[in-house]
Every structure is written in structure tokens, then in C-alpha cells.
Structure 1
Amino acid sequence: MDRRGKGVVYAGIGWTVLFAVMSFYWAAGGMIGVESLGGAVYEKALERDPEFAAIVWATGFVKLAGAVLLLLLLGRRGSFRRLLAWICMVAGVLIFLYGLANFVTISLAGLNVLDFDLSRHAMVWRLVFWEPFWMAGGWLYFAAGRKRIAGVKPID
């Protein structure tokens, strides 16, 4: 894999670790930025529901598994890397589409086409930061997988 491909993988790892750290912070009871999520997530965080905290801890560990997946792309085994690359590409598409779908539905809520339980504060943060953040992560996962496939030499 060339330097550019490795840079995309490392950027994806950084994005994933940052995302996991946010989950761990909120699971531990941190409240900075939680209001930007809005709706039921914000309400559960305010209640400090232990079951909800457990789910947030679990999501943090799932996110870290994504960082491990990206890290494995840097390995040397050809056929295994190709499979990992395809998994990253599919994950990237799904992550991107999740952010895009949320962006569209929250935009429609902002236009009063849909009725969501989101404060204006949360709506703005979701449209300006959270959903583009998801889409950027999806792009990083897809690009990392694509770069890996381009860099995998066929096994003779």
C-alpha cells in the first residue's frame, strides 16, 4: 500500500478512535456535547439510566473494533487483506448512508415536513457536525478499503 493509502487508513483509525472516545466519555457520565445529539439520547443521558450507559459503553467497544479492522488492512497477507478491504468498503457505504439518511430526515424535520423531537440546538448540531461526521467516516472506511484492494498483489 502506498503512502496515500496508509494515510487514509490512519485517518480512518483516528476518526474511529475519536468516535469511540466520545462514547466512553458519555458512558462514564460526561455531559459535554450530549445536548447536541438531542431527542431520546439526550433524555437518557440526563436520566443517567444504567442500561443506557451500558449500551453506550458497548458502542464504544464496537467502534474500537472498527479501528482494529482498519489497522489489519496494513498487514501483509494478500487474500485476507482483500476480504478485510471489502468489509471496510461495505461498512463505509453503510456508515455513509446512515449519516446521509439522518441528514435528509433531519433536514425535512427542519422544514416541518417531518415531526421529530429535536431541539433547534440539536438539529443544527446534527446537520452541521454529526451527520457530516458520520458521512466523513463512511468515506474514510470506503477509501481505505479501496486503497487496500488497489495495493493487493494477486497470489501466484
Structure 2
Amino acid sequence: MQTNKGWLTSGVVWTVLFAGISFYWALGGMFGVQSLGGAIYEMSLDPEPSFILIVWLTGFVKLLGALLLLLLLVSWQNTRISTVLYYLTKIAGVGLFVYGLLNVITISLSAFAILDMDLETHAIFWRLVFWEPFWMFGGICYFASAEKQHPV
């Protein structure tokens, strides 16, 4: 298996930034939280210890994605491992992209009052302009990181 090092590097940077945001919020940082809107913003105003724990855990889970990408750089003797990593990376990429895309669709429907998602205009704007495209970009990074090796 080959890697596209540019996309892989972008994916690792994206993942570390994404996890870093969770760690910042878990430590009590509030910058950008209002852009999420809804229940997450409300819970962050007076967080329960269980909510803070979940935010910490999401940061660590996100870092597992960087580990997945870095494992693509290893020259595995066992082709099964390479194949599994290839497909896990592709699946993660599709999952991240589709998650962002579905959120764009549902938040857009909310903006046109077709769905009621209890999001403020501020949150709708930032979710559509930043957060959901950010998810989708991460998906592209993951998907493009691994390439099948073609026989010469």
C-alpha cells in the first residue's frame, strides 16, 4: 500500500487540531462553543462532570484517527494488516465526509424552518460555514491518504 503523504499529513494535522479543540473545551475554554449551538452549548454553560468527561474522551478518540493515519506509514510485512488499514482509513474518510454532509443538509433544512433543531442563527451560520465543511475536509484527508499499490 502506498500513502499520499500530503493528504496524510493534512489528515494528521486536521485530527490533532480537532482533538485539541475538544481538550480546550474540556479544560473550560469557551471560545467557539456558541458556534455549536443547541444542547451542547447549553450544557457547556454549566457543565456536569460527566459532560466534561465525555468531552475529554472525544478528544482522545479523535487522536486515535491520527494513530490510524500514522500506521499507514509503516511497511507491514503482513499484507492483511495493510489491507485492513487501507479499508479502515477509507471507511473513516467516508464516515467523516457523510457525517458533515448530512449535517449540512439537516442544518440547512433547519435554517429554512423545515426542521426544528433549536439552533440559533449564529450557530447555523458557523455550522454551515465552518464546522460541517471541517468534518467533510477531514473525510477527504482520510480517504485520500491511502492508495492501493498497482502492480508495475
Tell me the residue number matched to 1:114: 115
- Structure 2 unmatched runs, 5+: none
Tell me the residue number matched to 2:6: 7
Mapped partners of 2:8, 2:101: distance in 1:
22
Higher relative contact order (CA 8 A, sep 6+): 2
Moved over 6 A (4+): none
Q: Deviations over 1:41-82 (max 9, x none)?
A: 001110122111100100000000110000000111151222
- Structure 1 unmatched runs, 5+: none
Q: Cα offset for 1:35?
A: 0.3
Q: Cα offset for 1:85?
A: 1.2
Mapped partners of 2:128, 2:91: distance in 1:
24
Q: Cα offset for 1:112?
A: 0.8
Calculate the aligned-residue CA RMSD, in Å.
1.6
Mapped partners of 2:124, 2:36: distance in 1:
8
Equivalenced residue count is 149
Mapped partners of 2:41, 2:51: distance in 1:
11
Determine what percentage of the aligned residue pairs are the same residue. 55
Given that residues 29 and 48 in structure 1 are in contact (C-alpha distance below 8 angstroms), is that contact kept between their aligned partners in structure 2? no
TM-score w.r.t. length of structure 2: 0.93
Tell me the residue number matched to 1:41: 40
Which protein is richer in helix relative to its size?
1
Q: Deviations over 1:70-101 (max 9, x none)?
A: 00001111512221011010011111111000
Partner of 1:150, secondary structure, is coil
For 1:124-135, list aligned pairs within 5 A. Answer: 124-135=125-136
Mapped partners of 1:20, 1:63: distance in 2:
5
AA at the equivalent of 1:77: W
Tell me the residue number matched to 1:65: 64
- 1:76 maps to 2:58: no
Mapped partners of 1:43, 1:49: distance in 2:
11
Mapped partners of 1:100, 1:64: distance in 2:
22
Q: Cα offset for 1:150?
A: 3.3
